[in-house]
């Protein structure tokens, strides 16, 4: 059975915009990069919230190559955000970007946020944050609060955050985020639910969150989307992606 179509990117007559966003943990591009690129292209995103982008030797070259293979451009992030990366289509107008490093906990990986403010046609400014939260529960909960603070600091009327939360919806960090932002899957489920592990997914630890006023038209794993094959999903990385279509209101 095929899933219902997800709305395509488009500009509304009133200045609003339908924006397609994709969140994807790419495991430092250690797997089949061409399969990964085919999945991303088939999803036709305006914004890609990447986690575990390459952070070390020639990391900018790796990010640029992925962007070129997917007909996108690098927006912000990478090593300067400790792994989160943002890609965007040429449809986006970029107001500003900022990479943010979070406090380092001894014995844990450094974490950060890739952030930007973008517009699509006549839409209002949209603040976006790509994140990858800690494996350690206490640190992860604190980082969830930092994520909400960073979103508020962007100062935009509408926001989207997405990433690898490393926790399922019932967990305290996930619930802390969902108390302020709309959990895309819970709001408008579409496609598949579980994102990890990709070989036999049983956990929803990757998510797209939308701020108040952003309409979630559909959100989920695009496993049955035309052009997305099971073979490519299996070869691309160890997570499944999350695709969402969102309506961003017009600028006032």
Task: For residue 165, give the 3-state DSSP assignment.
Answer: coil
d(CA 195, CA 113): 21
Is beta strand 47-51 parallel, antiparallel or unpaired with respect to 85-88? antiparallel
**Tens digits of residue pLDDT in 83-110:** 999 999 999 999 999 999 999 988 888 9
CATH fold label, 10-248: Deoxyribonuclease I; Chain A (3.60.10)
CB contact at 8 A, 245 and 7: yes
Which residues does the chain have with pLDDT short of 50? 1
Per-residue pLDDT, 1: 39
Instruction: With H, G, I as helix, E, B as strand and everything else as coil, classify residue 234.
Output: helix
The C-alpha atoms of residue 66 and residue 83 are separated, in whole angstroms, by 14
Q: Is 186 exposed, middle or buried (0-12, 13-18, 19+ CB in 10 A)?
A: middle
Q: Compute how many other C-beta atoms are within 10 angstroms of the C-beta atom of residue 1.
A: 3
pLDDT at 43: 98
Instruction: Look up the pTM and report it.
Output: 0.97
């Amino acid at each position: 059975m095929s899933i219902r179509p997800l709305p395509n990117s488009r500009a509304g007559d009133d200045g609003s915009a339908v924006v397609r966003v994709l969140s994807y943990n790419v495991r430092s591009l250690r797997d089949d990069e061409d399969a990964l690129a085919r999945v991303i292209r088939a999803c036709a995103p305006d914004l890609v919230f990447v986690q575990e982008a390459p952070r070390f030797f020639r990391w900018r070259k790796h990010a640029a190559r992925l962007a070129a293979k997917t007909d996108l451009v690098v927006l912000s992030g990478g090593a300067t955000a400790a792994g989160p990366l943002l890609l965007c289509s040429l449809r986006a107008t970029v107001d500003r970007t900022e990479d943010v490093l979070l406090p380092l906990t001894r014995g844990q990986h450094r974490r950060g946020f890739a952030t930007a403010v973008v517009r699509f046609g006549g839409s209002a400014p949209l603040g976006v944050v790509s994140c990858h939260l800690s494996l350690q529960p206490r640190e992860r909960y604190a980082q969830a609060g930092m994520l909400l603070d960073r979103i508020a600091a962007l100062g935009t009327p509408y926001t989207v955050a997405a990433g690898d939360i490393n926790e399922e919806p019932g967990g305290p960090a996930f619930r802390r985020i969902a108390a302020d932002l709309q959990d895309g899957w819970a709001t408008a489920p579409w496609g598949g639910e579980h994102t990890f592990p990709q070989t036999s997914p049983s956990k929803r630890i990757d998510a797209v969150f939308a701020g108040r006023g952003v309409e979630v038209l559909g959100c989920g794993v695009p496993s049955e989307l035309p052009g997305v094959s099971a073979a490519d999903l299996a070869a691309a990385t160890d997570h499944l992606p999350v695709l969402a279509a969102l309506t961003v209101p017009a600028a006032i």
